[in-house]
Amino acid sequence: MQKKKVRIIGVPIDLGADRRGVDMGPSAIRYAGLHKRLKKLGWEVEDLGNIEVPIAETLEIKDPMLKYLPEIAQVNQKLYSLVAQAIQEEAIPLTIGGDHSLAIGTLAGCSASGKELGVIWFDTHGDYNSMDTTSSGNIHGMPLAVSNGIGVEELTGIGGTNRKIKEENTVIIGARELDPQEGEALRNSKITVFTMSDIDRLGMEKVVEEALEIANSGTEGVHISFDLDVIDPGEAPGVGTPVQGGMTYREAHLAMEMIAECNCLLSMDVVEVNPILDIQNKTAELAVGLIASAFGQRII
């Protein structure tokens, strides 16, 4: 990779989800040795600490279809500024969470750079809901839709009212649990979706090759959004919304190694690590290993 500066931004947010605990994800990932691992790979590492996030017990849900909307918007506004500044200063922002609602801020920050952006979204879920399709009101199920201009202005307007992604350069990998209306919305979009069934049939190498071709077509960099629930719970038990039948340990590492080889990484977020549900910090340690692979670690 040409860039050798990485800037870590912690976002201890769990307001976007029903299950508590992912607010401790940034601490668990740091404890698993993130800083040391990246420095060993030759990266200049700066850790900005955590964005301040209010706790749920001090707040009131004003709209059950958009839970904690004002607070989530405020956190993402702060994150947008930090990500945009990191890219402007030629560092790769690495955002660690925290629930997936934080991707609203990371993608807004990437978009502010003015670079044409590709997106690869590793997730069990599509995160393509809005207040009109959600059954839970949880905003961590909405960030990809918000970044495509779908949703309320408090979220879509972060970093400007423009769409933050281009559908034709956006790929979801590992989907295996989509809400019915969400799936229909994705089918009607130009977003490419590789389900776990596609991975079974084609193999991870072929899927990631195609994903990189799509994300890199006419773009200047790729944002990787990695939700640890895309990995099978046997390998990653400490996640907010575990679903059986996910990626294997090696499939996930292969994907990250191929991303490193393409030398196209503009920014990355790693989300949904829940230490309360974890076993001896196993999931956070896996997260650090995957980040290391994406930033260039090799077996030999």
Catalytic residue (one of 232, 251, 269, 272): 272
Give the pLDDT confidence score for residue 3 in this predicted structure.
59
Instruction: Tell me the pLDDT tens digit for each residue of 65-106.
Output: 999 999 999 999 999 999 999 999 999 999 999 999 999 999
pLDDT of 260-269, one tens digit each?
A: 999 999 999 9
Q: Which of 23, 99, 125, 251 is catalytic?
A: 125
Model confidence over 187-236: pLDDT tens digits?
A: 999 999 999 999 999 999 999 999 999 999 999 999 999 999 999 999 99
Give the class (CATH, top level) of 5-294. alpha beta
Other CB atoms within 10 Å distance of the CB of residue 120: 27
223 is catalytic: no
Question: Of the residues 71, 100, 232, 269, which is catalytic?
Answer: 100
Catalytic residue among 14, 140, 198, 223: 140
pTM for this prediction? 0.97
Query: For the chain, what are the domain ranges?
Result: 5-294
The active-site residue out of 127, 182, 198, 278 is 127
Confidence of residue 2 (pLDDT cuts 50, 70, 90): low
In this prediction, residue 182 carries a pLDDT of: 94
Residue 161: what pLDDT? 81
Report the pLDDT value the prediction gives residue 115, as an integer from 0 to 100: 87
Give how far the C-alpha of residue 73 lies from the chain's centroid of Cα atoms, to the nearest Å: 17
Query: Is 63 an annotated catalytic residue?
Result: no
Q: Give 26-59 pLDDT, tens digit per residue.
A: 999 999 999 999 999 999 999 999 999 999 999 9
* Residue from 177, 182, 198, 229 carrying the catalytic annotation: 229
Residue 272 falls in the annotated catalytic set: yes
For the segment 4-33, what is each residue's pLDDT rounded down to a tens digit?
A: 999 999 999 999 998 899 999 999 999 999
**Considering 177, 182, 198, 227, which one is annotated as catalytic?**
227
- For residue 300, the model assigns a pLDDT of 63
Per residue in 130-163, pLDDT (tens digit) is: 999 998 999 999 999 999 999 999 999 999 988 9
Does the active-site annotation cover 14? no
Measure the CA dihedral 81/47/90/295, to 10°. Answer: -120
Q: Could you tell me if 252 and 150 are in contact, meaning their C-beta atoms sit under 8 angstroms apart?
A: no
Tell me if residue 253 is catalytic. Answer: no
